[in-house]
Amino acid sequence: MEILNLEGAEDTPKIMLDKANGIFEISGRSLPEDSAEFYQPVLDWLEAYGASPNPKTEFVFKLEYFNTASSKLILDILSKLEDIDGMTVTWYFHEDDEDMEEAGEEFSELVDIPFEFKTY
Protein backbone atom coordinates (compact mmCIF):
# COMPACT_ATOMS: atom_id res chain seq x y z
CA MET A 1 0.00 0.00 0.00
CA GLU A 2 1.24 3.49 -0.83
CA ILE A 3 2.54 5.69 1.94
CA LEU A 4 0.62 8.88 2.68
CA ASN A 5 3.17 11.44 3.78
CA LEU A 6 2.20 15.10 4.18
CA GLU A 7 4.69 17.69 5.36
CA GLY A 8 3.31 19.85 8.13
CA ALA A 9 2.81 23.59 7.64
CA GLU A 10 1.89 26.41 9.99
CA ASP A 11 -1.80 25.62 9.55
CA THR A 12 -1.77 21.93 8.63
CA PRO A 13 -0.47 18.91 10.53
CA LYS A 14 2.24 16.47 9.54
CA ILE A 15 0.71 13.18 8.48
CA MET A 16 2.43 9.83 8.03
CA LEU A 17 0.46 6.71 7.17
CA ASP A 18 2.76 3.81 6.36
CA LYS A 19 1.29 0.32 6.52
CA ALA A 20 4.54 -1.56 5.82
CA ASN A 21 6.40 0.11 8.68
CA GLY A 22 3.39 0.30 10.98
CA ILE A 23 3.48 4.09 11.33
CA PHE A 24 0.19 5.93 11.62
CA GLU A 25 0.57 9.45 12.94
CA ILE A 26 -0.99 12.91 12.77
CA SER A 27 0.99 15.62 14.54
CA GLY A 28 1.36 19.37 14.81
CA ARG A 29 -1.19 22.09 14.20
CA SER A 30 -4.45 21.71 12.37
CA LEU A 31 -6.36 24.81 11.30
CA PRO A 32 -6.69 24.45 7.53
CA GLU A 33 -8.98 26.76 5.61
CA ASP A 34 -11.02 23.78 4.42
CA SER A 35 -10.71 20.90 6.86
CA ALA A 36 -12.95 18.52 4.89
CA GLU A 37 -10.82 18.91 1.77
CA PHE A 38 -7.57 18.63 3.72
CA TYR A 39 -8.51 15.39 5.49
CA GLN A 40 -10.19 13.67 2.55
CA PRO A 41 -6.96 11.87 1.45
CA VAL A 42 -6.59 10.54 5.01
CA LEU A 43 -10.14 9.21 5.05
CA ASP A 44 -9.63 7.65 1.60
CA TRP A 45 -6.36 6.05 2.71
CA LEU A 46 -7.99 4.59 5.82
CA GLU A 47 -10.89 3.28 3.78
CA ALA A 48 -8.42 1.31 1.64
CA TYR A 49 -6.34 0.26 4.67
CA GLY A 50 -9.48 -1.05 6.39
CA ALA A 51 -9.92 -3.63 3.63
CA SER A 52 -6.68 -5.40 4.64
CA PRO A 53 -5.25 -3.91 7.83
CA ASN A 54 -2.24 -5.07 9.84
CA PRO A 55 -3.19 -7.41 12.73
CA LYS A 56 -2.55 -4.54 15.13
CA THR A 57 -2.63 -0.80 14.44
CA GLU A 58 -1.50 1.92 16.81
CA PHE A 59 -2.80 5.26 15.54
CA VAL A 60 -0.97 8.22 17.06
CA PHE A 61 -2.39 11.70 17.50
CA LYS A 62 0.24 14.16 18.66
CA LEU A 63 -1.48 17.46 18.11
CA GLU A 64 -0.33 20.75 19.46
CA TYR A 65 -3.49 22.53 18.39
CA PHE A 66 -6.60 21.89 16.29
CA ASN A 67 -9.52 24.15 15.43
CA THR A 68 -13.17 23.17 15.75
CA ALA A 69 -13.57 22.40 12.03
CA SER A 70 -10.65 19.94 12.37
CA SER A 71 -12.20 18.38 15.46
CA LYS A 72 -15.17 17.31 13.34
CA LEU A 73 -12.79 15.63 10.87
CA ILE A 74 -10.78 13.99 13.67
CA LEU A 75 -14.03 12.40 14.80
CA ASP A 76 -14.63 11.23 11.21
CA ILE A 77 -11.14 9.66 11.21
CA LEU A 78 -11.80 7.98 14.56
CA SER A 79 -15.09 6.62 13.22
CA LYS A 80 -13.16 5.01 10.36
CA LEU A 81 -10.59 3.58 12.82
CA GLU A 82 -13.40 2.17 14.94
CA ASP A 83 -14.30 -0.26 12.13
CA ILE A 84 -10.78 -1.69 11.90
CA ASP A 85 -9.90 -4.71 14.06
CA GLY A 86 -6.86 -4.49 16.34
CA MET A 87 -7.02 -0.68 16.50
CA THR A 88 -5.67 1.36 19.40
CA VAL A 89 -5.25 5.13 19.65
CA THR A 90 -2.39 6.84 21.43
CA TRP A 91 -3.28 10.41 22.28
CA TYR A 92 -0.32 12.61 23.13
CA PHE A 93 -0.69 15.93 24.90
CA HIS A 94 1.84 18.40 26.25
CA GLU A 95 2.17 17.84 29.98
CA ASP A 96 0.68 21.22 30.89
CA ASP A 97 -2.03 21.15 28.22
CA GLU A 98 -5.19 20.14 30.07
CA ASP A 99 -7.42 21.23 27.18
CA MET A 100 -5.70 18.79 24.80
CA GLU A 101 -5.94 16.03 27.40
CA GLU A 102 -9.64 16.71 27.87
CA ALA A 103 -10.19 16.82 24.09
CA GLY A 104 -8.69 13.34 23.85
CA GLU A 105 -10.88 12.08 26.67
CA GLU A 106 -13.96 13.43 24.93
CA PHE A 107 -13.04 11.73 21.67
CA SER A 108 -12.46 8.49 23.55
CA GLU A 109 -16.01 8.75 24.91
CA LEU A 110 -17.45 9.23 21.42
CA VAL A 111 -15.92 6.12 19.80
CA ASP A 112 -15.39 2.53 20.83
CA ILE A 113 -11.59 2.28 20.54
CA PRO A 114 -9.07 1.76 23.37
CA PHE A 115 -7.24 5.04 24.01
CA GLU A 116 -3.89 5.38 25.67
CA PHE A 117 -2.85 8.81 26.94
CA LYS A 118 0.76 9.94 26.97
CA THR A 119 2.48 13.24 27.65
CA TYR A 120 5.36 14.76 25.72
| Class of residue 108 by CB neighbours under 10 A (exposed 0-12, middle 13-18, buried 19+) | middle
Tell me, what amino acid is at 5? N
Stretch that binds another protein, among 40-48, 55-63, 84-92, 97-105 (CB under 8 A): 97-105
Q: Which of 54, 94, 108, 115 binds another protein (CB under 8 A)?
A: 94
Find the shortest distance in angstroms from Cβ 50 to another protein.
Answer: 21
Stretch near another protein under the rule CB under 8 A, chosen from 14-22, 53-61, 93-101, 112-120 = 93-101
CA distance 112 to 76: 13
Binding site for another protein (CB under 8 A): 10-11, 31, 33-36, 65, 67-69, 71-72, 75, 94, 96-99, 106, 109-110
